[in-house]
Structure 1
Amino acid sequence: MVMSDRMTTLLIFLLMIHGVSSEDRSVSYSPPHICALKDSTVIMRCTYKYPISYQIKKVFWTKGPLIMSVEAPDLSNDPEYRQRLQYLGDEQQNCTVRLSHVTLKDSQIYYCRFITDRYKWTGKPGVTLTVTDLQVESPERVTEGDSVSLTCKSSCALTDRATFIWYRNSLKILTESKFRNTLILNPVRREDSGRYSCAVDGHTHVSPDVHLNVMYPPRSVSVSIISPSGVIFEGDSVTLNCISDSNPPAGIHWFKGGTFVGSGRIFSISKIRSDDSGEYKCRSFNEYGEKYSDTVTLNVMYPPRNVSVSIISPSGVIVEGDSVTLKCISDSNPPAGIRWFKGGTIVGSGRIFSISKIRSDDSGEYKCRSFNKPGEKYSDPVNLNVMYPPRNVSVSIIQSGQIWAGDSVTLKCISDSNPPAVNFSWFKENESSAVGSGQSFSALQSGRFYCQAHNQHGSQRSDAVTVTVKYWRIYHIAIVASVCGVVATVIIVLLTCWKKLHSKSTTNNSDGISMKSENKEISYVYENVGAVHPCTNAPKMTFPLYENVTIYENCTAHRNMP
């Protein structure tokens, strides 16, 4: 009897396992296998039938594994399913259920269990639910120009027909392969680098990002001046930055012209000099290639220096009438303005200063002033020594007063010339041959004389001057000498006569000679002796023999006597 009960129980259990009975009990699941996307909603469709004589007390869903000695739990009472599980069937034929927001842990075998007025059973074989997420499969490293395929993969084939959506950097990509789980990039470009993910249209689940790393050589290489932002002056600190787009990041080399000057993305010059002016560029390189930037010019501003003046023309001696050109040489940046000075007076501007027909007045010291925004500087002066032939030639008479025959008259030739005249010739007017040389000349006779001054650049003659020599002084001296001789002779004769008369009067008065007549003659001779000369206060005498001759006839002649 006990054995019979056990057999009956086993039979009932077997009938419950197979979901059928001789009385036509059955459960049907459609589909029996479901592959659902994580966070999606799954509908597990279920129908059942049972004998009319049975009365359904309860229909509910449970999950495996089933244990014979343990009552299968009702998922609607499970806290993990209570809010997500919704029974859609009835208690007659439909046992469909909906499970929302499925997770990977929901991957189980689900069964519909029935409780009737006679017994309990679980419908087999149940619904196998596999919950999957999405993963993007891509190569880790690709090179620009390659053909690349990215695959949106799941652990099982989704039950519903899926429409795949692709994202790059969280932005949807429009692609022709809409219903395929593969994204093809052919050829792949550097712009295709980024974070890729996929999703199924109508579902919120998105795969984790996968980074597609497209390798490429440097491009868009350029140099920027970080500081200073404006004009660069000598002494400033200057910083250059090399900008480059490459993958992997590029190494950087710096060049001035064709010369290597540094490395690294930043190139700095702490105190820039004018010699640092020039064109700079950077070379960006990685294992896939290299590229040079365009050049950037560092134009270092500095005040004038090495300022000097040079004579371009003429190359030798400067002669009056020459065209003279001066050039101001200056090293500066920006190019300097130029002012020209003669002494302290401004005479012109511009790098070239010209005098078309130079004059002697243009002789002097010239200098230029070179100036720009950073500063200014003067050149050393250069001397223009303008040569010219003699001019303003004149004759100067050294003596003053009247000139008498026998005197020498000194004449001096005066001239203005550069270099000073050293050769002088003297001429008497209307005579072709020179009468003397040297800067001074002694004239011994009356006439009109002129001089001619010479230097290596020419000559010029003076106007003639008149020299007058007075010859009557010679006769005057002769007359005075003659008169003095006569006076001396008369005095001697008178003294002799007086002596004789005195001797006779004292020794022999008997001669009876009367002195009256002799005294009368002597009186006649001396009657004008007492006259005084008006110039010298000396006695002035006239004699019958020389009644028309006046001794010391005038004061001037007297003063000029030796």
Structure 2
Amino acid sequence: MALFLIYFSGLQGNSCTRVSYPTRTMCVLQGTSVNISCTYSHPPDATLNSTYWFKWRANQEPSDLQSDSEYEGRAEYPVEETGRSTLRITDLRVTDSAEYRFTFKTSHYKWKSILHGTTLTVTGLRVEVTPVATVTEGQRVTLTCITSCPLADKPSYIWYQNNGPVTGSENPKNQLVLDPVGLQHAGNYSCSVRNYPHLRSPEETLTVQCTMTLQGNDDWTVTCTSSNVCSVRGSTVDISCTFKYPEKQHDLSTTVLETLWFTKEDRNQKPVDLLSDADYTGRVESSCGEISCIGSSCNRKCTLSITDLRQSDSAVYNFRFKTNQPGGEHTANPGVALTVTDLQVKVSRRDGWSIYLECDSMCGNPPIIWYWNGQYVGQARSYGDYINSIDSFSCAVEGYERLHSPSVCKSTPSLSTATHEVNNFRVTKIGQIKYQNQL
């Protein structure tokens, strides 16, 4: 750790006026907090009138960071004592990357050093896949959790596949090595730093292709309706794939011997049928439609239904069929990446007494329904409200109204009138009387 000293000398005999910053540069994760500190001194016969921190900007007069609108509610001075000061910034943003300096004013002097203070770099996380994001099973794949600068304290990293933690992935190194990579490794990957699991990187998709050659033509194919599916915990999901095969090959009529869905393989690298997987007992059904043959090709659609979804169900679902033809086992490529998520009400912003809420589902932008004190209010992506201290709010995805998010109660000074706006409806509560009017 570098020691960086700034001196200004000699106004009072042998006395010294100075400011010193124990840390010259800092690299901190976006969304966390940081403490930037310094020590300072001035002649003993001078009276200290004021102290503050500022963000250095070229050709601009310094201003107290606590009065800067960019830092409203996020900048504070938790340590203020003679000769020592600390700046604390919470909920760090990338735009907070800058040089921060301290200044003070005495009855005789105002500190105006042109030397540097502490330079802060705020970084997010991102995933890089090497050699490429689309590979063939059996290759070596390295996923790296990258920051724009080296984080302090050499943190450990945690990896997630399809929103679930990868077993045994916590490691001081920022890499996850898949060697050899298999079909079960396909999916969406993200990373986080230990102690901050909620601050994950954006997801990066790894596609793993099967090494099997489908007879040199497109007579043998498996295609799925979607490569990515997102559903709410507790709901039901249907995943469908259609497979195609030649009606006859090498003077042998083709017979389908087996169809199965799987997410993992056993020790012998054989697919584990979901219908016999203990993790899915009583929650999965597989059905296939009629065989349809046109010309020399036949096709059939199979559907997997999973009920009472759990977050542990987040995985890549692969479909395989087996025939009586030589080399007649074929697997969907790619499989279907399922993400199971909870709903969560979050405060997106505040505006005076108004609170704006969002329903976070990680499933894109599904139609959201809002509930106020357990009662239906309306449909909207976000919700703006003057909130009473006894009010509670929850949300649900349309079609799954019984699967509410956890209720959120916001304690604020009680208001005699609370106005609730969703889409074009306004609900006004006065005392115990409630009115609903079309705007």
**What TM-score results when the alignment is normalised by the length of structure 1?**
0.38
Larger radius of gyration: 1
Of Structure 1 and Structure 2, the greater strand share is in 2
Of Structure 1 and Structure 2, the greater helix share is in 1
